[in-house]
Structure 1
Amino acid sequence: MCGSTRERPTRGRSTAARRCTRGPTGWPTPGATARTSTSTSTTTPAGLRCATPTGSPPRSAGAAAPPRARRRTRTSSSPDRYAAAVEQGLVLRVATFNIRNGLALDWLNSWWFRRGAAVTAIRSLGADVLGLQEVYEFQRGYLVRKLPGLRWHGQGRGGGRSGEQCPVAVSGGFLTVLEHRTRWYGETPDVPGTRLPDASFPRVATLLRLRDQRTTREFAVVNTHLDERHPANRAASVRQLVGWLDPAVPAVVMGDFNAVPDDGDVMGPLLEAGFRPAPVTGGTVHRFTGTATGRRIDHILAGPQWTIEEAGVERGRPDGKLPSDHWPVRATLRL
């Protein structure tokens, strides 16, 4: 607002410019209705907005300020977005990615050389829910720092931060985590370190129950890494996993199964429960060769309530580097 009408030397500036104050510099909130004003204003190229309406006489010293025109209240379009989400149903982007454990002696393919590429690969997936495997705590800490928009859940094989993890990362925004837990395959699934007979290591599953704030729909996500050496343990793990799920709750199961799609002992219990694999082609493990001809052992399976709209294997090389010895798998689902 202009503070005085006392004339001063202009020094090349117009009277209108002297009566102007710098306008707001912030951008409008995305999705919000643009704020308008009923008063006439003049905006200069420098971003100045004149507070006195064009053509009005200057106000004398001591005179009461005229009442300001009431500005319209901003209105958010969030209800419109939520209404659209309810109409089209819950659309969820999920992905699974074995990032290769950071203690492996892979020389130039070691974690320290490829961790930046792993972050770029994860970002490019654009997943709402992401399941990772072979994650040690120091790897998780790096990802937490580099991917601040994600919320991480899951314990290590030994409980807490000990051992390899199968964490689930949830993108901030429209998903609320109602419950999360880590379970171990074996006779005592809630006891950290439990393992199946002859298993080299304990194997875990990270289970989440989530609610979509836009549609209020609830669903479950399971991320796991099955035994790589003993087929009987893989089959027993899947049978136990299916038993943990509530058939009434839509679920997504993903991870490194160490089993190909036609392995009936591993895939059979899930298929019998109504799960369907996301349709992808080519291999997912390449042992740092970068080929697409390896075995397909990384899977996403959706329960019968879901529609699988799209799926694929991401075979990119960020900055010319392989982010892991596995390719990530992604899928878009509708509930």
Structure 2
Amino acid sequence: MKKRVVFVLLMVFNQIHSQELKVMTYNIRLDLASDGENSWSKRKERVADLIRFYEPDIFGIQEGLPQQVNYLDSILVDYKVFGDGREGGNKGEHSSIFYKHNQVELIEQNTFWLSETPNQVSKGWDAALNRICTFGLFKNKESKHLFWVFNTHFDHMGEIARVKSARLIHQKITQINTKNYPLIIMGDFNLEPDAEPILFLSNHYLHSKKEAQLIYQSGGTFNGFAFHKPIDSSKEIDHIFITKKAFEVKKYAVLTDSYSCKYPSDHFPVIVELNFLK
């Protein structure tokens, strides 16, 4: 009898666990020698350790140059990665998506440019730089749920570009997600929550922070490596959105981890714990 009860409890636990999905977005700051004490070579292990500790099932990075993507790929052995650079192929900054290959299966993937010509390497509207969105269709190996993840990095200068980029991503999702699978949009949007493009996305999707049952460390996500200065709460520019009626948001957090009076990146990662609703 006791064995049967234990078996049933294990079945229930596994079923609940298989419904869970932990997702993180993290601007890791590009590799610049001019960052001095905050250069990539001096903090890359801290970035990797943070990711390993929090164990997201899927995480998207921004500003990852090829050598940074390769480093994380080599040291985070439980993960696989995909995504093109914004200059095409493996060139330039990546908005790569990493995923735990023993938990989720990648079904398809692609990258498009945030511009009037999204299917080719290009700079859009009034943007200062080429910008991209990398996305993938995944399958949870235990629960068999299919779901999409989009990871992006909006331009830091072009106001029109940020408005158009939000609308382009929504347009692409409408074209791609014809079966209405659960969907996650994440990234560095270079926009505060009350900016028009964020409000636009919030009208079509749910902002994970607003739906969270438990919030830890809410506020600014950009620190500028300024450890001894208060975080500007208005600089909440990294966001995670989810489709309506698809997920329960159990937890939301801005991870303000530090070491030796330094931050691993000039952004804090944002992490959410989700449950599939059906």
TM-score in terms of structure 2 length: 0.86
2:222 to 263, 281, 285: 285
Relative to 1, partners in 2 of residues 1:222 and 1:149: Cα closer, same or farther, differing over 3 Å? same
* Partners of 1:119 and 1:321 in 2: CA distance: 15
Paired with 2:17 and 2:70, the residues of 1 have a C-alpha distance of 36
Alpha-carbon deviation of 1:89? Answer: 6.1
Describe the superposition over 1:271-327 as per-residue Cα deviations: whole angstroms up to 9, x where unpaired. 221322324512110110134335110111111111111010111114654200111
> 21, 26, 47: which is aligned to 1:97?
26
2:129 equivalent among 201, 213, 232: 201
User: Matches of 2:149 and 2:186 in 1, distance apart?
Assistant: 8
Counting only pairs closer than 5 Å after superposition, residues 167-246 of structure 1 correspond to structure 2 as: 167-191=96-120, 193-245=121-173, 246=177
Q: Greater share of strand residues, 1 or 2?
A: 2
Unaligned 5+ segments in structure 2 are: none
Deviations along 1:54-109, one digit per CA (max 9) or x if unpaired, are xxxxxxxxxxxxxxxxxxxxxxx8x9967654467621000011010103621111
Deviation for aligned residue 1:198: 2.7
Contact kept in structure 1, 2:136 and 2:150, CA below 8 Å: yes
Separation in 1 of the partners of 2:16 and 2:264? 38
Cα deviation, residue 242, structure 1: 0.8
**d(CA) in 2 for partners of 1:182, 1:230:** 21
Alpha-carbon separation, structure 1, partners of 2:10 and 2:107: 23
User: Could you say which structure has the higher helix fraction?
Assistant: 2
2:268 corresponds to: 327
Q: Alignment identity in percent?
A: 29
Correspondences of 1:259-274 after superposition (within 5 Å)? 259-263=191-195, 265-274=196-205
Please say if residues 278 and 302 of structure 1, whose CA atoms lie closer than 8 Å, have aligned partners that are also in contact. Answer: no
Amino acid in structure 1 at the alignment position of 2:25 = T
Distance 2:33 2:127 in 1: 20
2:241 to 301, 306, 324: 301
Over 3 Å counting, the alpha-carbon distance change for 1:162 and 1:92 in structure 2 is same
1:29-48 superposed matches below 5 A: none
Decide whether aligned partners of structure 1 residues 262 and 198 sit closer, same or farther in structure 2, where only a CA change above 3 A counts: closer
Q: CA separation in 2, counterparts of 1:219 and 1:319?
A: 39
In 2: Cα distance, 1:183 partner to 1:112 partner:
30
TM-score relative to the length of structure 1: 0.72
Q: How does 1:79-98 map to 2 (within 5 A)?
A: 84-86=13-15, 90-98=19-27
**2: CA distance between counterparts of 1:331 and 1:174?**
17
> Counterpart amino acid of 2:197?
V
Could you tell me how far 1:154 is from its partner in structure 2? 0.4
| Number of residue equivalences | 257
Name the larger-Rg structure. 1
SS in 2 for 1:187: coil
Aligned to 1:127: 56
1:165 maps to which of 94, 110, 113: 94
The structural deviation recorded for 1:224 is 0.4
Structure 1 match to 2:185? 253
Contact 2:57–2:103 under 8 Å retained in 1: no
CA RMSD of aligned residues (A): 2.1
Are 1:117 and 1:321, in contact at CA under 8 Å, matched by a contact in 2?
no
CA distance in structure 2 between the partners assigned to 1:297 and 1:87 by the alignment: 32
Deviation string, structure 1 residues 107-134 (Cα, Å, up to 9, x no partner): 1111111111111122122100001000
